[in-house]
Structure 1
Amino acid sequence: MHGAPSVTYPVGRSRGAARLLTVVWALGALCAGASCYFFDSVGWRHALLLLSVLFAGAAAGIGLRRDGAGFLHFDGRVWSLAPAASDAADPARSVLAARAFVALDLQSLLLLRLSEPGRPRRWLWVEREAMPERWRDLRRAVYSRPPAADTGGDVWRATAPADAP
């Protein structure tokens, strides 16, 4: 069986993610508005509900604006995230030897969780429009199993049942 291809893919602000989060936020705001309209008593609960809707919208907007541009790279074993040329002066933004996990797959839009030991997780929106010719390679790499550790040729003994000769 062949391993996943090595791939380098651009990441950064995603229009698809912005559209998706806007639609989800608008649906939440409509539900909050409907609950305020249909339930007569206006009180602290309604104020808290409206404040939470506004806070969620502001947090999503700030989060989408802060998405930095860079390049996600898979070398066949580990993932790394290299900052764009304008962010190259800040080495703390570089993520090395990370693992990528798919959190949401919408076929042309992926939400990835990038985990590196000892650092906080990073969430990345990756969309097909960024580089359509490499999209399938990226999907293969994301869904591939990590390579097994070198067992020194003892694969059979490690996996064979106890009653095997």
Structure 2
Amino acid sequence: MSGLRDAPSVSYPVGRSRFWATVLTALALAVVLTGAWMASTVPPEAWLPLAGAGLAWMAWAARSERQQPTGLLRFSGSTGRGGTWRWALDGTDEGLALQAVEAAVDLQNRMLLRLKGSSGVPAWVWVERVDAPVDWLALRRAVTSDRPG
């Protein structure tokens, strides 16, 4: 267990997530297929409002997927608990200090991370093992070591 708590320093690239794009595409396909089924079986006054909501959701999903933040997530580790996180949008500057980085979803080869900055408004980013396989375990240890308790 001590190996999880002794997280090394790591820099990890964050880019547009192929996984998240696939999830949104699958959901959009489900919306289209459901709409087609409803159009063939239900009167228009029942399905037209739902079709509008489905189109609005698909527009939001496409926009949010295109606007995923990209940059470099850095953890400066220390022996034992603790360390500091920084988020550099362009990957070259020093970056913004983060209060915490938490795994909201951990699928072993990809994680949805919640980045908590000083503004209090969290940013959400997907990180995937395929983007930097050599540094993946170090990133996972850093996220785990920073967990309270």
- Between structure 1 and structure 2, the one with the greater Rg is 1
Structure 2 counterpart SS, 1:67:
coil
Aligned CA RMSD, in angstroms, stands at 2.4
Alignment map for 1:85-100 (pairs within 5 Å): 94-100=95-101
- 1:83 corresponding residue in structure 2: 89
Structure 1 counterpart SS, 2:44:
coil
Unaligned residue ranges in structure 2 (runs of 5+)? 78-82
Alpha-carbon distance in structure 2 between the residues aligned to 1:95 and 1:25: 34
Alpha-carbon distance in structure 2 between the residues aligned to 1:120 and 1:145: 19
| One-letter amino acid matched to 1:28 | V
Divergent runs of 4+, >3 A: 35-38, 145-148
TM-score when scaled to structure 1?
A: 0.72
Matched, 1:46 2:39: no
CA distance change for structure 1 residues 27 and 135 in 2, over 3 Å: closer, same or farther? same
Alignment map for 1:144-155 (pairs within 5 Å): 144-146=145-147
Matched, 1:22 2:28: no
Identity, in percent, stands at 34
- 2:80 corresponding residue in structure 1: none
Q: How many correspondences in the alignment? A: 141
Instruction: Compare relative contact order (CA 8 Å, sep 6+) and give the higher one, 1 or 2.
Output: 2
- 1:101 corresponding residue in structure 2: 102
Q: Which has the higher strand share?
A: 2
Unaligned residue ranges in structure 1 (runs of 5+)? 149-165
Encode CA deviations 1:35-69: one digit per residue, 9 max, x unaligned. 4433x3221x4222111111111111111211232
TM-score when scaled to structure 2?
A: 0.79
Structure 1 counterpart SS, 2:12:
strand
